[in-house]
Amino acid sequence: MVGGSAIQMCEVAKAAGFEIFITCIDPFTGDVNMWEQEPYLDWKYLQLENGMPTISKRFLSNVLHSGNSESILPLCATSSVGLKFLKKLIGDGRISQAPNLIYLDSAHEKDETHLELKLCFDLLPSKGILFGDDWDWDAVRNDVIRFANDMNPTGLIREIEGLLSSLDYERVAESIYLFKDHWLLVKS
């Protein structure tokens, strides 16, 4: 929400010798639960200033101070707008390739997560990886399962067998791999 995951992914990839560019699509406005709980929490998710969330300010500050501002670009838009925009940029040749990896920290709302999954999967090339968190949220888990059943997106792909075998995972369905609270789909 405030850049931690993007910064960590960037630093791990750079340490492994990969060139990386991360686009973080988020309206930086929080979700229903954050707005509902904000008045009752000690640590404020939104940290409102004049009625506006400060999530984007904190995101930008954290990315800048991490030294990764050349590799992490925030796109202040909803996931549906941002993903459609990326697809258009790729189709127009203004971006040379689609992302190989998409981390979806979904909207956590029933059906909205399903829509986000469709848009992400449509953007990924073959053998692209779509993963996310919050498996314990009913809306996320149910939409991931429904999406996987509708699309039957993959079986285990040989290229990632080695990686998966070194991790503690559970195969939840034919095409869903679960690592604690994180789920993973591979586009075949």
Integer CA distances (angstroms), 54 to 51, 60, 61, 156, in order: 9, 10, 11, 41
Residue whose entry in the numeric block shows the structure tokens 């940029």: 89
- Residue 84 belongs to a domain: no
- Residue 53 belongs to a domain: yes
Query: What tokens does 113 get?
Result: 């997560």
Strand partners, 170: 178
Write down the pLDDT at residue 63. Answer: 97
Question: pLDDT digit string (tens) for 116-161?
Answer: 999 999 999 988 889 999 999 999 999 999 998 887 655 555 566 6
Question: pLDDT digit string (tens) for 56-105?
Answer: 999 999 999 999 999 999 999 999 999 999 999 999 999 998 998 899 98
Residues in contact with 103: Cβ distance below 8 Å, sequence separation at least 6, in sequence order: 5, 9, 131, 132
DSSP secondary structure of 90-126: HHTTSSSS--SEEEE----STTHHHHHHHHHHHHSPT
- Residue 43 belongs to a domain: yes
Whether 137 and 50 map to the same domain: the answer is no
Question: What whole-number distance in Å separates Cα of residue 100 and Cα of residue 151?
Answer: 19
The pTM assigned to this predicted structure is: 0.84
CA dihedral 123, 129, 134, 139 (to 10 degrees): 50
Assess contact for 24 and 59: CB atoms under 8 A: yes
Phi and psi torsions of 148, nearest 5°: -60, -40
Whether 60 and 143 map to the same domain: the answer is no
Whether 42 and 125 map to the same domain: the answer is no
Q: How many domains does the chain have?
A: 2
Please give the DSSP secondary-structure letter assigned to residue 70.
Answer: T
> Which residues form the domain of 43?
1-76
Whether 104 and 161 map to the same domain: the answer is yes
Please give the DSSP secondary-structure letter assigned to residue 182.
Answer: E
Whether 99 and 36 map to the same domain: the answer is no
**C-beta atoms surrounding 47 within 10 Å:** 15
Write down the pLDDT at residue 179. Answer: 85
Say which range, 11-20, 37-46, 134-143, 147-156, has the weakest mean pLDDT.
147-156
Q: Is the pLDDT of residue 2 over 80?
A: yes
Question: What whole-number distance in Å separates Cα of residue 174 and Cα of residue 111?
Answer: 21
Write down the pLDDT at residue 163. Answer: 67
